[in-house]
Chain A
């Protein structure tokens, strides 16, 4: 929030939604919130649907998770994971390819 508040609140609100409306809910209210059925198309997690700030935090965490996975993969298997760029689209594409690879690998171990 320190990065956003008073600096680029309008831009952030345009992407994540207005964080002042609805007001920030209590943690228990967040946990009670039921995510929308189509959350996968708009959010990185079901929890992110609770509030724009939660969405921001979840996306932030997801961004760094993505970087960490891709960098680790690049160190160990450079052929499978090329050098990640700072552009989110190729980053996400490589991450998706790796995602399918990992999911298929784990599926081979059993359900």
Chain B
């Protein structure tokens, strides 16, 4: 059944005969419970609203937890990143405190411009991305 045929458009007379038999059979059952047309029960409306709110609540809690724990996770991930073979191959040198070396801000004096080492910058950026992705994934798995 494709998207185009969500509901059958043709119900043959023979099928209607079968449906009539089922209808009669249900009619004979003393425990027959065919829903009567009535407004949506309040309990169903309240339940729907509560489930929506609960979902939103979980979502908000997960987001807060994610952003609150990000610095901690990044801190925990630093030694891991520093000792990983990936970091060693890329020749990332961390300072004694385990932080990434901070580049001095780029000078606005164009005459004194020193070409930046693009590879260093790219390496730092990729390692930071790895840490951030790992933190995000861990936090998401933990809280969501």
Contacts and interface: CB of A to CB of B under 8 A. Distances in A.
A44 to B, nearest CB: 6
Given A3-B25, A41-B12, A59 B18 contact: yes
B6 interface: yes
B29 A92 contact: no
A8 B27 CA distance: 13
B22 A59 contact: yes
Interface in A69-111: 69, 71, 74-75, 83-84, 86-89, 91-92, 95-96, 98-100, 102-103, 106-107, 109-111
A75 B40 contact: yes
A77 to B, nearest CB: 13
Contacts of A74: 37
B11 A15 contact: no
A15 B19 CA distance: 10
Contacts of B8: 40, 44, 96, 99
A85 B19 CA distance: 13
Instruction: State the main secondary structure of chain A at its contact with B.
Output: helix
Chain A interface extent, by class = 35 or more
Given A83-B37, A103-B9, A12 B21 contact: yes
A109 B3 contact: yes
Contact of B15 (A8, A59, A100, A107): A59
Contacts of B26: 63
B25 A92 contact: no
Interface string B1-45: 011111111111011111111110111010000110101100000
A57 B17 CA distance: 15
Interface of B: 2-12, 14-23, 25-27, 29, 34-35, 37, 39-40
18 contacts: A15-B17, A40-B8, A42-B15, A44-B18, A62-B19, A63-B23, A63-B26, A71-B35, A71-B37, A75-B39, A88-B16, A88-B20, A92-B11, A92-B19, A99-B7, A102-B7, A103-B5, A107-B4
